[in-house]
Amino acid sequence: MPGTWLRDAVIYEIYPQSFADSDGDGIGDLRGVIDRLDHIASLGVDAIWFNPCFESPFVDAGYDVSDYLRIAPRYGTNDDMVELVEKARERGIRVILDLVVGHTSIEHPWFQAELAADGPSPEGDRYIWRTDEPEKGWDVDLPGIPAWVPSPGPRPGWYLKNFYDEQPALNFGWVHTDPAHPWRDAMDAPGPQRNKQALRDILDFWFSKGVSGFRVDMAFSLVKDEGLTEGEKASARIWREIRDWMDQAHPDAVLIPEGAEPRTGGPFAFDADFALVIMAAHASLFDDHSAGILPWQEPRPPFFAAEGEGSTKTFLDLWALWRAEDPQRPVILATADHDFNRLRCGGRTPEQLGAALTFIFTWGSIPSLYYGDEIGMRYLPGMPDVEGAICNPGYNRAGCRTPMQWDDGPNAGFSSADPADLYLPIDPDPDRPTVAAQDGVAGSTLELVRELIALRKRTPALQGHEPTRVLTEGYPFAWLRGDDHLVVVNPRREPAVLVTDESAAMQPIFGSGARLTEVGVELDGFGYGIFAR
C-alpha cells in the first residue's frame, strides 16, 4: 500500500528561513540543515517537512513560486537538496517538501508570458483571465479570498488571484462552464490539461531526486467554482489522477494535504488528513490568540491552559466524525506550525508543556513537531511584518517564525550575521531556551520530547494503528490506546483525579506528577502519566 511508512511516523517541520544559517547572510539555508541533521536525528523523527524551498520573490515567504524546479538561491542549490535528502536518509529520515500548486508568483515565466500577450494563448491559458467587468462577489480584496486583479501589463482585463495580488491562480478549469463567462474553461480544456501535466512533471522531478513526498498547500482549491464543496471535490479528482500515476511511478511517495481530503465516495488520493492548527478543532486545544484572531475564529480559552477553563469537545466531536467516516484514516496533529502560535504562547510555561506533548505523541494520530517546540521556544508578539507574515489585520505569523535557538552564543547560534540582518529577531529574553542548555539535562523539554518519541517507537499501542478510546473529556483528560495503555494529562494548575477501573493491574511507564491509586489516578497540577498492563 502506498505511503504505509507515514502511518507510524513522526514529522519535524522546518521553516527554512529560520532554522540554521551556514553562510552568515542572516537567513537559514539547506547547508545549515545538513549541519544540524544530528540534532534532528537525536529527536527520533522519521521525516522532515520543509516549508517552500523553491525559487521565489518571497512576497509570501516562498508560497509564491517562480520556478518549481529550482531551489531558491537563498537556500542553496538543487545539489544541496539532493545531498540533504541522502544524508537524512542515512539517518533514517525522509524529506517531504511543500508544494504550492494552486497559484504561482507573478514573476513565474508562465505568468509573464501570458501577461505580455494581447489575448489568450493558443495552447490554452495557464491562468484565469477575463476582459469583462468582474461581477460582485469576486471583488473582495482581502488576503485569502480569490478576487480579480487588474492586469498590470499589455494583456487587457483582469486575472484571478488566490491570496495576495502577487499570487495569480492557476487554471485547472471549472465544474460548470457558462457561455456568459467564456473565461471558465472546462476541466479538460487545453489550459487545465497543461497545468495537470506540469504538476505531474514537478512531482516526478523531485521524487526522482529522492524526495519522499509533498505536503500540498491549498490542495483542494485548484478548481474555482461557486459552491466550495463542488470545487473541492473536483480538485480531489485531479489529485486522484495524480495518485494513480504515483502508484505506478513512485509507489512509496506520500501526499499530505493542507486540511482534510473531501469525501467523494471514491479512493483517497492523499495518505492522511491534516488537522489544521488555525481551525477550531486544534485551536480549541492550544490557541490563546497571542497571534491574533482570524475572521472565522471564535475566541475561547484553550484546553491546555493553567486556568482549566477550556474544553476538548470541539476537538473530540471532529475526531469522532473522522473516525466514523474511516476508523483507519491517518490524521496529522501538530504542536504548531508556520501559520500559528507556538505551543508555548502567552503565559504558558515550560512546566505546562509536558501534558501537551504527551497528548501529541500518544494520541491516535501522526505527530508533527514544529522546529523549536522541542525546546519550548516562545511565540513572540510584536514581530515585524516580514514576507507577508501579517496575512490579515491583527494576525501576525512572524512570532512563530523566529530563528532557532541553538546556544547562548551570538544570535543564539543561528547565524554569524549582524543582528540587524537576521530574517527575524532572536528572542530577546536572556533566559530563552536553547538546545545546548537542555541537551542531556533530565527534565528538560528537549529530553522529554526525545523520551516520548522513543517510547512511542518502541510501543506499538502508542503509534497510529491502535484505536483511541476516551475515558474522560475534561480535567483530567484520559484515553486508552488499544486495550492496555492508559494516558492521563492534567493541563491545569489545580490537581485532578481520574476515577476508573481501567487502571487496574497497570504500572506507570512514563510521566510526572501522576500516581496510581486504588480507584484510578491522582495528578498534580500540570501532571501527566502513561500506564500499561
* pLDDT tens-digit series, residues 462-472: 998 899 999 99
Q: 19 in a domain, yes or no? A: yes
Nine-digit cell string for 244: 494513480
In the chain, % of residues over pLDDT 70:
97
Q: Given a cut of 70, is residue 143 above it in pLDDT?
A: no
Q: Given a cut of 80, is residue 226 above it in pLDDT?
A: no
Predicted model pTM? 0.96
Q: 111 in a domain, yes or no? A: yes
Give the pLDDT band of residue 228 (cuts 50, 70, 90).
Answer: low
- Report the pLDDT averaged over residues 130-141: 72
Cis peptide preceding 476, ω within 30 of 0: yes
Q: 215 in a domain, yes or no? A: no
pLDDT of residue 346: 87
Q: 183 in a domain, yes or no? A: no
Give the pLDDT band of residue 461 (cuts 50, 70, 90).
Answer: very high
Residue 206 identity? W
pLDDT of residue 136: 67
Give the torsion sign (CA, 500, 502, 503, 505): positive
410 and 483: one domain?
Answer: no
Asked whether 220 and 236 are in contact (CB, 8 A), the reply is: yes
pLDDT of residue 236: 95
b/e string for 193-212 if b means 16 or more Cβ within 10 A?
bbbbeebeebbeebbeebbb
Candidate from 188-192, 260-264, 422-426, 448-452 with smallest mean pLDDT: 260-264
Give the torsion sign (CA, 454, 459, 465, 469): negative
Q: Given a cut of 70, is residue 449 above it in pLDDT?
A: yes
pLDDT of residue 250: 97
445 and 480: one domain?
Answer: no
CA distance 230 to 190: 21
Give the pLDDT band of residue 394 (cuts 50, 70, 90).
Answer: confident
Which residue range is the domain that position 413 belongs to? 4-100+275-456
* pLDDT tens-digit series, residues 320-338: 999 998 999 999 999 999 9
DSSP for 441-460, written as a single string:
-TTSHHHHHHHHHHHHHH-G
Provide the number of structural domains found in the chain. 3
Q: 462 in a domain, yes or no? A: no
- Report the pLDDT averaged over residues 249-277: 94
Q: Which of 147, 169, 191 lies at the terminal end of a domain, its last residue?
A: 169
DSSP state of 213: E
CA distance 476 to 480: 13
pLDDT of residue 470: 98
Q: Taking the mean position of all CA atoms in its chain, how far away is CA 361? A: 16
35 and 121: one domain?
Answer: no
Q: Given a cut of 70, is residue 145 above it in pLDDT?
A: no
| Closest C-alpha to 462, from 516, 509, 399, 425 | 509
Q: How far is CA 341 from CA 35, 60, 204, 282, in A?
A: 27, 18, 34, 11
Q: Given a cut of 70, is residue 138 above it in pLDDT?
A: no
DSSP state of 400: G
Residue 316 identity? L
Nine-digit cell string for 73: 538561491
Q: 147 in a domain, yes or no? A: yes
Q: What is the chain's mean pLDDT, rounded?
A: 95
If one counts every other C-beta atom within 10 angstroms of the C-beta of residue 518, the result is 6
* pLDDT tens-digit series, residues 41-91: 999 999 999 999 999 999 999 999 999 999 999 999 999 999 999 999 999
Q: Given a cut of 70, is residue 241 above it in pLDDT?
A: yes
- Report the pLDDT averaged over residues 178-182: 91
Q: H or E element: which one contains 316?
A: helix 313-325
Q: Given a cut of 70, is residue 144 above it in pLDDT?
A: no
CA distance 48 to 10: 9
Helices (H), 326-383: 353-362
Q: 308 in a domain, yes or no? A: yes
374 and 423: one domain?
Answer: yes
CA distance 476 to 454: 24
* pLDDT tens-digit series, residues 267-301: 999 999 999 998 999 999 999 988 998 888 888 89
36 and 138: one domain?
Answer: no
Q: Which of 428, 456, 484 lies at the terminal end of a domain, its last residue?
A: 456
Q: 264 in a domain, yes or no? A: no
376 and 441: one domain?
Answer: yes
490 and 441: one domain?
Answer: no
Q: Which of 122, 151, 169 lies at the terminal end of a domain, its last residue?
A: 169
CATH code, domain with 330: 3.20.20.80
In the chain, % of residues over pLDDT 90:
88
Give the pLDDT band of residue 135 (cuts 50, 70, 90).
Answer: confident
Give the pLDDT band of residue 146 (cuts 50, 70, 90).
Answer: confident
Composition of the chain by helix, strand, coil, percent to 5: 25, 20, 50
Q: Given a cut of 70, is residue 203 above it in pLDDT?
A: yes
- Report the pLDDT averaged over residues 143-157: 85
Q: Given a cut of 70, is residue 137 above it in pLDDT?
A: no
